[in-house]
Structures are given as C-alpha cells and as structure tokens.
Amino acid sequence: DTGVSQDPRHKITKRGQNVTFRCDPISEHNRLYWYRQTLGQGPEFLTYFQNEAQLEKSRLLSDRFSAERPKGSFSTLEIQRTEQGDSAMYLCASSLGGGRGRSYEQYFGPGTRLTVT
C-alpha cells in the first residue's frame, strides 16, 4: 500500500507526559500537512512542510507543539506536557505540489487518536 501511514494509531497518555507521532507521506509527495480533528468537527490545519522546510504554522500550534520533517520524507509531531484539551485525532496529509494537474489534492492518513487522561 502506498498511501499515507501514521504511527501509532492510538495513544493514551497521562497529563504532563510528552508524546510523539510519526507520519510517512506518499513517497513522491513533497508537501506534508498536519491537522487536528476533535469529535464532531472538521480537521483543523496545524502546520505545513514543503520538503524539509516548515512554511506555515497555525495559531492552534502552541509552543508545546513541535513538528519536524528532517529529510523531507517522514515527519514527526511532538506534544510536550500534554493537557486534556490535546485529546483529538491528529491527521497527516500529503500532496504532490508543483502547481500542475492534480497537485493540490491532499491525501490523508488514518490518523493517530490521542487520549490524555
């Protein structure tokens, strides 16, 4: 399967702990996005990478959140000192980029469900 993959699929952690999620985009896609989705809502944009460069961050991304894409391939999203309000589904998406054809289409992974107790 060559779709977007995310790991882990589920994470339960205690308040105050740090967590890290991984996203592997579709191999030829140079754009990678992180979104957060809470119950009953649509996904909300968190941050965007083009290759290894992080080009945009949402105001939703507090200083407890950090994302990296060190070699322009997989990406990690770390949340430090987790709070109960961080409980959500964290979604990763990738797109081809390049401005031609269907380059804008974003393909989502299955998400990581975070529960903070």
Partner 1 sequence: QQQVKQSPQSLIVQKGGISIINCAYENTAFDYFPWYQQFPGKGPALLIAIRPDVSEKKEGRFTISFNKSAKQFSLHIMDSQPGDSATYFCAAGDSGGYQKVTFGTGTKLQVIP
Instruction: By CB under 8 A, name the binding residues for partner 1.
Output: 4, 6, 31, 33, 40-45, 48, 50, 55-56, 91, 93, 95, 97, 99, 104-111, 113
Residue with Cβ nearer partner 1 (17 or 52): 52
Helix (H) or strand (E) holding 35: strand 31-37
Q: What is the nearest approach in angstroms of partner 1 to the Cβ of residue 48?
A: 5
Cα 77 to chain centroid, rounded = 6
Q: Determine contact, residues 103/52, Cβ cutoff 8 Å.
A: no
Any idea what DSSP says for residue 84?
A: G
Residue with Cβ nearer partner 1 (45 or 80): 45
